[in-house]
Amino acid sequence: MLPNVPEGAPVLTAAAMRAAEDRAIAAGSSVAALMECAGTGVAEWVHRLAAGSEVLILCGPGNNGGDGYVAARVLASRGVPVRVAALGEPKTAAAAQARAAWSGPVEAFPGGLADGDTAPILVDAVFGTGLTRAVDDAVADAIRLLAGRARLSIAVDLPSGAETDSGGDFGAGKLANFDGTLALGALKPAHVLQPAARHCGAVRVIDIGLGSLDAVLRTSPRPQIAAPGPESHKYTRGMVAVVGGPMHGASELAARAAYRAGAGYVLLLTGGLPHPPHAIVRQRWSPDALADDRIGAVVIGPGLGRDDRAREKLEAALASDRPLVIDGDALHLLDGRLRGRDAPTILTPHAGEFAALFGAGTGSKIMQAQDAARKSGAVVVVKGADTVIAAPGGRVQVAAPTSAWLSVAGTGDVLAGTIGALLAQHVPPFDAASAGIWLHGAAARMIDRCFLADELADALPEALERAR
């Protein structure tokens, strides 16, 4: 089948995509030439996957439909049995030209197709990035029915009804599920943001002749993490202090993950933990506990609690000049306390914590994360099925989709410890967050089943090997 969402790839909004197309046209291309390139690319992938089976291509009235007509013509020229069904007449010159070049019959869609009259391979080329409204119920329902009955369903650029920039659903819950999506020219936010991303299936980017693309937003790349050299010792590999509280299991998980992610020394600052994990140094908390200059990063929040004692610990951590990873309970205690802090800081809220910390925002998850990073002066990691990483200067990434088994207690503690280990090794904050999320996701994919957070931490060394 198609590969997964590519790593380190540019992600373009609808406006950025139009600008890239305009630049290509100004350089000597044309809308028709770009459409020919896109449709041919779609045909090549469908031909590879169809294995001679009949293909039904649904064409819309815009340029997405034009891509479908080109794909139909190319497939037919290669001997693939093709049917075309159209939602009305083409409304752009390039799409009209593409339809005129298609010599086969055109069925009406949705009314001209008998109920469930699909083919083994379905291609949705009805609506793409130009869509700005809800899809008619009859059209959305028909696409869902046909996609559900096909052996293989493929969307051209986007599933029809997806909101390009926000990853939302114009169809109010009626997006069809596709096995794969052929992204034209570049990924779009809807390929990586929920809920649209889960309807895309596997995603492949097709080159349509736009040349090199410069984008603020990218998917997270595979990190390059160097192995320790012969001169390394425990402090050069990074010393991480995990500030715990009454919920010992969470802070222990963070400490364990920091070790498994490559830290050379992990200090667990808490009280009452009778049996600390092997090799993790336990020390009771004191106001000067973070004064050790060898501490390269502090992780605070997992198991911290929310009482006055927890507030005192957070105040001490914020007042220190140590790089911080702030998670869990500590996020609920921040209340504007980041103002004036100059040392590197990474916040790792899930959606509920993010809303409590920054309020109900507007715009896409990406825009909200960027705004939060700018206001807080911290790198902000908004966790979820579509984790977004944003830096105060505007840099932003979206992590590739990973295992749904991560939705279990303790995995956030593991992530905090993982990022802390990288931060302690002097990896820049944004890159530490990005690499930590990649390792966290890779470890989950390697387990590939229901797991405990402890098992996730123990899978980190193998994930590290994949990042060498």
Q: Which residues are annotated as a binding site for AMP?
A: 383-387, 412
- To which residue do tokens 């046209």 refer? 25
Residues making up the binding site: 63-67, 124, 128-134, 157, 160, 250, 303, 350, 383-387, 412-413
Residue type, 92: T
| Vertex 221: Cα angle to 170 and 190 (nearest 5) | 5
**463: Cα separation from own chain's centroid:** 18
Interatomic CA distance for residues 320 and 312, integer angstroms: 13
φ, ψ of residue 456 in degrees (nearest 5): -65, -45
Question: Sign of the CA dihedral 365, 367, 371, 377?
Answer: positive
| Other Cβ atoms within 10 Å of 408 Cβ, number | 15
5 vs 387: CA distance, rounded Å: 14
Listing DSSP states for 170-188 in one string gives: TTSS-PPP-SEEEEESSB-
Annotated binding site for K(+): 64, 124, 160
Going by the annotation, the residues of the binding site for (6S)-NADPHX are 63-67, 128-134, 157, 250, 303, 350, 413
- Runs of H (alpha helix) within 150-247: 196-200
Nearest-angstrom CA–CA distance, 110 and 115: 9
In what helix (H) or strand (E) does residue 54 lie, and over which residues does it extend? Answer: none
- Per the document, the length of the chain is 468
C-beta of residue 188 within 8 angstroms of C-beta of residue 166: no
